Structure formats: C-alpha cells, structure tokens
Amino acid sequence: MDVEKLCAPHTLPNCRLCPRLVDFQREQGIKHPGFHCAPVAPWGSKTARLLLVGLAPGLQGAARTGKGFVGDASGEFLFASLYRYGFADTKRSEVARLLGARITNIVKCLPPNNRPLGIERSNCEGFLRQELADFQPSRRSKTRVILCLGKDAFDSVRRLTDTSPTRFVHGQQVRLAPNYYLLSSFHPSRLNVNTGRLTRAMFDKVWQDVRELVNGEVNI
C-alpha cells in the first residue's frame, strides 16, 4: 500500500486508513450529533509565517468544531497567547481569525483517550509531510517558524524536516535554515497547565521568541 499516495492532501476528508479511528469517530458522532467527528484539516492562511503543530483533535475541541485547538481548554490557553502576540484577532477561539498563523495536528482524527497509536501516526505522516513542504520558505522568503506543542509533535516534525536528532526540551530553538526555525513548547493541555508544568510565564517566553523571530529581530 502506498500510504503517501493515499494520504495526499485532497483525500483527507475521505481518509479511512485507520479503522480504529474511523470507528471511534463514528461512535462519537452518534453520541454527539452536530460534532465534526471527521478528519480535521489545517486552518489559517496558506501563506502564514507561523505553523503551530499539535498532536491530535480533542473531543470538545477540533472533533467538535472542525478546527485545531478551537473550543476546548487547550485552545483557551493557546488563543490568549495568539491574541496577545498578534497572531489572532481575539482570544475567543471559536470566533477568532488567525493572523499570519496556521494550525495543524500530526494526527488528523480524534483518537481514544487522546492517544493515537504508532501506526496511526505513521498513516497520517503523508499529510504532515506535505504541509511542511508547503510551509518551507524559499531562500528569499521572510523568516518562518514552526512551533511544536508537545513532544509528539516535535519528534514528528524533527524527523520530517531531517533535523539532526535532538531531544524535546521546552523553549528550545532549532535553526533549520537561515530563515526557518523549529521551536518547542509543552502542550497547553489542561493537565500541564493545572499541574504547573506549563505556566503562563513559560508560554509567554516561547511566544516572545516566536514574535522576535517572525519580526526578524533575533539571529541564532
């Protein structure tokens, strides 16, 4: 089976490569009429200079609204920063318009217990690979930044960008090219925020770095 061919971007709405996820989304759609409960496509401008990458849709977030990080606690925490640093026109995720940013997940379908299997991540890799290829700047482009929210997102993006093996660390910056950067943060999940693993101050520092890179104020 040619997974990359089957996972071409235009096939995303009809993707059925992962039976467990297909069945689970069907079950949730029956339980929650009106929820999206289907593969979730990236959203935001295709010419954005910031790409945010998470793990997978959440039931009350993207699986409900059809937009990554929209509608749940993670989204509330994230959009407060997107708005504060000029990447969204409001902190209210469900009505926000992204400004120079684009949001995606490494897995496009809602997984049970918020944890996709390794094979499901592999099946979705063709989508993410194409998204990264589309996002990569040319030599003359203005700086672009990928912000990975969580270790899973960071590991996937690092591998697909052929970055030398680097372990996940909150707040790190990896230079992929003179005008291309990979940044990492703990995921803004309710668990991470409530336990203090990710504080507002920690997240603000990451966003300060993002804004400075996009503005061309920092060279590393």
Report if pTM > 0.85: yes
In total, the chain counts a number of residues equal to 220
Residue 170 above 70 pLDDT?
Answer: yes
Alpha carbon distance 168, 68 (integer Å): 22
pLDDT at 9 over 60: no
Strand order in the sheet with 101-105: 43-44, 101-105, 50-54, 144-149, 180-185, 173-177
pLDDT band of residue 219 (cuts 50, 70, 90) is very low
Beta bridge partners of 149: 185
138 close to 130: Cβ distance less than 8 angstroms: no
Residues 40-59 pLDDT 10s:
999 999 999 999 999 999 99
Q: What is the CA 70 to chain-centroid distance, rounded?
A: 12
Alpha carbon distance 4, 1 (integer Å): 9
The pLDDT of residue 161 is above 50: yes
pLDDT band at 217 (very low <50, low <70, confident <90, very high): low
Q: What CATH number does the domain located at 3-215 have?
A: 3.40.470.10
pLDDT tens by residue, 93-142: 999 999 999 999 999 999 999 999 999 999 999 999 999 999 999 988 99
